[in-house]
Amino acid sequence: MNTAGYLRRIGLPSLLNAPTSAENLRALHAAHLEKVTYEALEIWLDRPTTVDPVESAERIIGGRGGYCYHLNGAFSELIRSLGYDVTRHVGGVQNRGDEPGITANHLVLTVRGLPSHDNPGGGWLVDLGLGDGFHEPLPLVEGTYEQGPFTYVLRPSEVAPGGWRFEHDPSGSFEGMDFGPAPTDMSAFVDMHRHLTTSPTSGFVRIATVQRRDAYGVDSLRGLLLKRIGGRTLSVTLDNARDYYAALADIFLLPLTDVSGPEKEKLWRRLYEAHEAWLASDAT
């Protein structure tokens, strides 16, 4: 993997030969969230992806983002190459109104062996793939944590014995997330990745989703609806292609230099038609 190129992508080339530490892990986590956008636009561009972490890393280095399998998969390879003791786990994101469970719709990371003044045990929950989740790693210690405008709860899971439960802030886009203690490899997510990227029932297929977390809140773009939580409030519909692509470039750091003009025109038509269909269904 191109570790040096990856670190340049997130603005931290100085950490190439830096020692492993809780402080440096925080810096890597925060920089990745701020520089690499949570996005599933490849689905809407009809560009199939895999869960291979090296493929995901190459796409990230090239200026794009991804969703949990891509972001956490690539990040696990990055920090492993830097010497961190990282483990992948099968998780399950619980959308509001659903039951919790270990559904494999989420890849979770933990890092061990990095004690700090606020975490003597040295275990950390690391997650770049929650969209509007936490900005810095959370200690694997039961408790309540505040980051920016959000308050989170971390406690033992009731559906994964020996695992953990992350409860999102009430303003967040989902209810919570559970994960089990056992390590896993990326093959555990192949079937669910296929479902999430192709099934008409998948949220990613129904709504083009883009999110970017910073220290003060989160920007989200679902379809053509742009929202901001934290620092300032914003809710606006982007009703033309110029504004949509300007928002991607300026707010989400996604200039889409790898997408041709005709592809952008096709993507916009799909987005606009989906938005019009949603308005029609909402009116009825």
Let me know if residue 271 belongs to a domain: yes
Domain of 276: which CATH number? 3.30.2140.10
Residue 244 lies in a domain: yes
pTM exceeding the 0.85 threshold for the entire prediction: yes
193-251 confidence digits (pLDDT tens): 999 999 999 999 999 999 999 999 999 999 999 999 997 778 999 999 999 999 999 99
Report the chain's mean pLDDT, rounded to a whole number.
96
Q: Is residue 38 situated within a structural domain? A: no
Q: Measured between alpha carbons, how far is 18 from 14 in angstroms, rounded to an integer?
A: 7
Is 229 domain-assigned?
A: yes
* Structural domain of 279: 199-283
The tens digit of pLDDT for each residue in 14-55 reads 999 999 999 999 999 999 999 999 999 999 999 999 999 999
Q: How many domains does the chain have?
A: 1
Position 115 scores a pLDDT of 96
Beta strands per DSSP E along 95-147: 106-112, 124-126, 138-139, 143-147
Question: Model confidence over 114-158: pLDDT tens digits?
Answer: 999 989 999 999 999 999 999 999 999 999 999 999 999 999 999
Task: Kindly give the residue spans of alpha helices, DSSP state H, lying in the chain.
Answer: 3-9, 22-35, 41-44, 53-61, 68-81, 190-198, 203-206, 241-250, 261-283
Pairs from 150-159 (Cβ < 8 Å, separation ≥ 24): 150/230, 154/125, 157/100, 158/100, 159/92, 159/100, 159/101, 159/102
- Give the Cβ contact number of residue 62 at 10 Å: 11
Q: How far apart are CA 101 and CA 159, in angstroms?
A: 6
Q: What average pLDDT does range 151-180 have in this prediction?
A: 96
Neighbours of 53 (CB within 10 A): 23
